[in-house]
Chains A and B, each alone.
Chain A
Amino acid sequence: MLRFISGKFLFMLLSMFLLITATFFLMNAIPGSPLQGEKATSEAVQKNLEAYYGLDKPLIVQYGKYLENLLHGDLGISMKMKFRSVDKMIAESFGPSLRLGITALITSVVVGCILGILAAMHHRKLLDNLAMTIAVIGLAIPSIVLAPTMQYFLGTKLGWFNVAGLDGPLDYVLPTIALASGPIAFIARLLRSTMIEVLGSDFIKTAKSKGLSGYVIVVKHAFRNSMLPVVTYLGYLTAGIITGSVVVENIFAIPGIGKHFVTSIIDRDYPLIMGITIFYAAILMLTRFLADVAYVLVDPRMRSGGKVGK
């Protein structure tokens, strides 16, 4: 177990280093400069700006300097938001995204599992069709359509919710639905197909013949065995959902981190691009890592060190 973890950890560090290097040089290869606005500035101002942000030095020197600062935990200051440190910008905007993301994550898992189990237990019956219809709709309607529709009908027309902002608990409802509808559908379908397979296997038949009730079988035996693919998916989902969605954030005016992924590139805000990429990668790697550990915990076969294809 320890070897497994330390191996994974080393691999994470290496990936991170490669990612930082690739992002740094790719970012500098994009045409356009963070210091070039639409209005022409004099050469002197341009030079002053370059000197200020260290852009007047050769790229490799800038890279070395960046790595050095990074080792000291310094992500630099934003070039667009004057004098705002990148770590502060990330920390501030991550809060709302995290809160909303966790709400959406829990909703996805709970609702997705319920729909999936119902569908599997009533395979090819009305409930199955109903649950899968809901799932298909959730998967088919993108949040860019779902969110404004809900905003208009439930917010403006019916007045049940605020159309924007994240001030009270009720404000979480619409963005959560917008964020969770896709994952709910995915989890439901994933769980349904695995569970139908599991429900048909021998050990379930044995359990049934022992006289266990349908409820006990599903919860104690089938569910646990059907969770593996869902747990794997959760690793990806968590990283994606807690780092915000630029669409949902823009529509509901949520001060989250998602927009930085887009605006930092548009602004050519180099330190913010780097910071946000490293941050996202760290979360992605961490959640993948946790998913791997959870995988081992859920599936005893993994503990013995035997390799099982994922």
Chain B
Amino acid sequence: MIRVEHAGSVTRLTLDRPEARNALTPEMLDALARAASEMPHETRAVILRAEGPVFCSGFDLNLCRDDPHGSTLARLLDGLSKAVTALRAQPCPVVAVVQGAAVAGGCALLGGADIVICAADARFGYPVTRLGISPAVSAPTLAATVSGGSMRAMLLDPGLIDAPHARRLGLVSEVLPDAASAEARARTLGEALAAKGPGAIVATRRLLQELSGPTPRDSRAALDRSLGLVGGPEERDLLPKAWAPRPGR
């Protein structure tokens, strides 16, 4: 469900589960982390993209049914944190291209990207506290991308923001009219990045990581905060909403 394609100096990582709006499973997150840590020597840039009309709708919470201790949700949170960390730790710049929506875990995944391009229809946000889940795990990478006030609003207000708003916050660097033009732009950027001096890119990314974080300690603290609620009374109470039919859907 994660497709890895190496084409010359650009590697494409594709979320390939469009029938489920690319909902993330523990296996997909493990595969992303593995792909990031096993980048071929020739790769100079990475494109993170998704099949279908929606980039990613977040965790596949259907997997969390009949799991009173929340071990699957804990695996998802841990896998997300590891995948994002692995994408940031590997040496090549990552361009993510978002169409439709990047919500909850899907929005968190963008923390692994250096540059985010989106289509005009894209929506972003963390509508997860209603399920008893804390989006704290995303805070450290979000803090390295947007202002403190924007991060606070994104994590405490579960409303989604549209593409121009995301552009204004700095979450997204370019908004293109549609998915095809966003893909094309990401490809162009990937090729442009691949042509830069590899040593310069590696050193610059490493320095930026040092300057803006997150530190491993912050990442761990944030993950722990999200994990701290897993299997607790509130989450056991609210999580079933995830698979209850919603009015208007």
Q: Do A and B make up one complex?
A: no
Residues of B within 8 A of A (CB): none
